[in-house]
Chain A
């Protein structure tokens, strides 16, 4: 453990948890590592929380169990939390005070399709990949099935952005469908789907098995794109304020432990060797493939500018007419920036001075003002 992580601790007079035994749900993906590390390395325990992690089989089931208190909290796509605030798919609003990582997604095409669109087998950028798929579609009769794992997930939104930006499918030959992650590789192998976008390890597993080939990483569509957040219901957060803060504190500690390549790899090994992801050939997974980042506050601050991006995409897919003014309200009531600030200050973590930032325009590192010292932000350019 690096010394910076050991130094992160809650002050002794921090309010006691209203509820100390918690059930947290997760979907088997590499990016569930913050909750697994917090559990397995005792960060939850140190924060006075006894946490049971429960593997769930769909985002819908995570959402419903959080809504009805069968789960206290769960890492979930930011889009599901924001959609609940718009009363889409849920009866009560959820909130988040913390992001749980950047990147981790990719678009994979079947081996047959890869060979057809890219016979020279070279690495493609987002424009070359678009051109290759476009020219293939021009001479193609029929439909290609494109699978993602949830309509409100980051990868589904990234995929849509890429398709639109390069006007890839003007004739509607791509059919967007949903397939559960653990069935993805198998469905591609049986020829049911031609393209999928999903979080790791499912892309690198498809590639290792020779079933598919990475077309683009999510990174090439939006570098350092946000993904999962810690979701709870608004009611839960209001009745368990200290528990919520302690949960955030433990996860901030886990994320700062993961802010180091060596720790990140041992974290993934911990996750894979302890049966958190039900796959046999764990050795074939390329753990660096997803380029995950968990660095606080960059990857964990609930940036309002990112919430706006998700919300706009939710509106685009959900024929739901919401005026932009109320969208700002929804974003501010759902992304609890002040709660994050409160916990991070108690832990003496450097914080950004603003709650929003420019998104998608920086080709290299850039700087923003921080409460202790300036924060070096990674590139966030679109369409590499």
Chain B
């Protein structure tokens, strides 16, 4: 039976690192450690001797790994070096998802591909979760703005909430602008006059 591949995950975002680690464990890989930034990264890599390192494309620690790859033949090398050997689409997909990797010489390409695919999928999933959260926050903020504008319209026009909302929606339709923009305009105008 083949030796289990050992992987080191380096990511300052602990949540994402945990997600990647779990996914790799589920696939039967041996995750040696999960690191955020460390002063002694080079020492840690030498000590752990991973077959593969998964690292955030934007991690400032990447030049530390580059230095190891240049000076030490047995250190993992940047995966982009191997792109011409038929793994171009896999690597490109990983890079677009924000994943970079370093692999030791002699690691079979299908094994590298499998790990890169898992990591890229988790990075994308994490990104999606994060933007969903941001959207939810924006939506909440938008709703607050609309509520405030509605309140101002009710007070100014001495009308009901429903009438105020209908008036705002009509403005949005007539002016072909998002309700939120209409609300902002109303707030800036009515707060001036009141």
Binding site for B on A (CB under 8 A): 56-61, 63-65, 67-68, 70, 87-92, 149-152, 177-180, 182-183, 187, 190, 192, 317-319
Contacts and interface: CB of A to CB of B under 8 A. Distances in A.
Contacts of A90: 80-81
B81 A178 contact: no
B60 A70 contact: no
Give me the 3 closest cross-chain CB pairs, A-B, nearest first. A91-B83, A180-B60, A178-B67
Given A57-B60, A58-B58, 14 more contacts: A58-B60, A58-B63, A59-B66, A64-B95, A65-B95, A89-B77, A91-B81, A91-B83, A91-B84, A91-B88, A151-B70, A177-B64, A183-B37, A192-B39
A61 B64 contact: no
B39 A89 contact: no
A51 to B, nearest CB: 20
B84 to A, nearest CB: 5
A64 B80 contact: yes
11 contacts: A58-B62, A58-B63, A60-B78, A60-B100, A64-B57, A89-B81, A151-B66, A177-B67, A178-B66, A180-B61, A180-B63
A87 B82 CA distance: 10
Nearest to A149: B63
B59 A68 contact: no
A192 B37 CA distance: 14
Contacts of A89: 66, 69-70, 77-78, 80-81
A60 B73 contact: no
B63 A59 contact: yes
Nearest to B88: A91
Contacts of A183: 37, 60
Given A59-B66, A178-B64, A319 B81 contact: no
Interface of B: 37, 39, 42, 57-67, 69-71, 73, 77-78, 80-84, 88, 91-92, 95-96, 100
Which of B37, B58, B80, B92 counts the most chain A CB atoms within 10 A?
A: B80
B65 A60 contact: yes
Which of A87, A92, A179 counts the most chain B CB atoms within 10 A?
A: A179
Chain A interface SS verdict (over half): loop
A89 B69 CA distance: 9
Contacts, number: 94
B60 A151 contact: no
Contacts of B91: 68
B100 A68 contact: no
A190 B88 CA distance: 41
B56 to A, nearest CB: 9
B81 A60 contact: no
Contact of A70 (B42, B88, B96): B96
Contact of B63 (A87, A150, A190): A150
B63 A88 contact: no
B60 to A, nearest CB: 4
Given A56-B58, A60-B100, A61-B57, A177 B42 contact: yes
A179 B64 contact: yes
Contacts of A179: 64
Contacts of B88: 91
A190 B40 CA distance: 13
Nearest to A181: B60
B67 A150 contact: yes
Contacts of A91: 80-84, 88
A318 B39 contact: no
A163 to B, nearest CB: 15
A238 B31 CA distance: 42
Which of A65, A68, A89, A190 counts the most chain B CB atoms within 10 A?
A: A68
Contacts of A56: 58
Contact of A319 (B67, B73, B92, B95): B73
Nearest to B73: A319
Contacts of A317: 70-71
A182 B78 CA distance: 22
Which of B39, B57, B67, B92 counts the most chain A CB atoms within 10 A?
A: B67
Contacts of B64: 177-180
A68 B73 CA distance: 25
A62 to B, nearest CB: 10
A317 B67 CA distance: 10
